[in-house]
Chain A
Amino acid sequence: MASLRCTVATPTRELFSGEIHYASVPGAEGSYGVLPGHEMLVSSDKQGILTLWLDEAGNTRRQFLLYEGAAQVYQDTLTVLGRFGTDLDTLDVEVVKEKAEALRQQIEDLEGQEGEQARVALENCKNHMAWYDLQLKVAAEPAK
């Protein structure tokens, strides 16, 4: 069966690059599947788990948790971008908890401050906190 080329990236690093046979992408209005020969598509994504089938039967899979992003299918190339993203296999709950705690402190500090910069920074931190919460929520769920 034909395959399609896939790249998964966040702004600071590439999470995956290689050939896949099927992908389940978390779209803005629910997940959708992508097979080779899929029509051309650009979508903005919300949050969720991206599943990639590395073989035809789906025995070898890679799963990535993504938060806010976009995806494109263009000439048998799938590109999935996430504002934040991580490989589910390497998700370390303790590290996320530590980071979330530090960020919570930062949010508390920012809430007491006035000014345009503090407002924008606070919004940004809350966004980041939502990402940590999502990771913790997914890690707490039983594996599918």
Chain B
Amino acid sequence: MPNLHDIERRINSVASTKQITRTMEMVAAAKIRRATERVTDALPWAMAVSDMLINAAKHAPMDSEPLLQVHDEVKRALVIVVTSDRGLAGGFNSNVLRHAEKLIREKERQGVEVEVVACGKKALGYFSYRNITPVMEFQGLSADPTYEEAAQISAYLAEGYRDGKLDEAVIVYNHAKNAAEQRLVEQQVLPVNQQSYAELLGLKPKEEDVFAGFREKDDTVPPGDLDFEPDAESVMRYLMQAYLRNAFYFALLDSAAGEQGARRNAMKSATDNANEMVSTLTRVYNRVRQGAITTEITEIVGGAAALEE
């Protein structure tokens, strides 16, 4: 049976841990708001790029844009893994990393050479431990992702895809479905998938698929003519680059919002558990204290009785 002092020390320790987890929970809640604002700020650009692609797709000859071509054979793939820099967020990172590793192993079994881009310290640590050296790595940006980070990844991918060095790109990240729930997403960025990023973000309903025109070669063109300046090729080139950057930027923003949501959940559970533990320990403390008092009284009564005899 532990003595009173031990239990008291334990209660104090749990209570101070609870203070930390409670604070972390509140900080994460505030950061969710900031992350949501960042997504809102980025939406006008994302929607405009999506709109331009939809409109241009109906009028432009697309055979010349290399980023819209599907390579015959996938020999080399780029897997972009988005995690957080810090832990204490439940299964947030382990879900992404386990899935990414499974995906990489599966591709390697199919004879595809895989290059990895690690976003977040957790991803970097995980892959380094498994002797996988990322071609690009980003640290310290998971909570505040920058457009520059997305631009660098997309520049590397676009260059590789145009030169035929890369044939496929997949991004694995946590989508913040709402403030409390995250969903693991494996999104194929190139070649352009049936599911466009606008759809994934809920910007456009499914039937307004940006790239439907390219795949199905629809001959019906809406009334009126669309002019391109200086020419359709350079416009499409710019828009596809913007599409790639957006795909990465939104994945990073989404993951940042998810990270804070996951951390808030984890810290809320930790706070709840700490509360429960404090009340259990307080009960034990009182029982032990009562037992000690009873023993003391018994000893006094016993001692007095012995003296009387």
Which residues of A approach B to under 8 Å, CB–CB?
Answer: 7, 9-14, 17, 27-29, 32, 39-44, 70, 72, 74, 79, 81, 116-117, 120-121, 123-124, 128
Contacts and interface: CB of A to CB of B under 8 A. Distances in A.
Contact of B242 (A17, A39, A81): A81
Nearest to B115: A116
A117 B55 contact: no
A124 B158 CA distance: 14
Contacts of B239: 42, 70
Contacts of A14: 41, 44-45
Given A39-B227, A120-B152, 4 more contacts: A29-B230, A123-B155, A124-B152, A128-B148
A123 B132 CA distance: 26
B136 interface: yes
Max chain B C-beta neighbours (<10 A), residue from A13, A72, A123, A124: A72
B122 interface: no
Majority SS at the chain B contact face: helix
Given A42-B235, A70-B242, A72-B55, A11 B155 contact: no
A28 B233 CA distance: 13
A79 B227 contact: no
B308 interface: no
Interface residues of B, number: 36
A9 B55 contact: no
B245 A42 contact: no
Given A9-B44, A44-B234, A81-B49, A120 B156 contact: yes
Interface string B134-150: 01110000000001100
Given A14-B41, A117-B136, A42 B226 contact: yes
Given A42-B228, A44-B238, A70 B152 contact: no
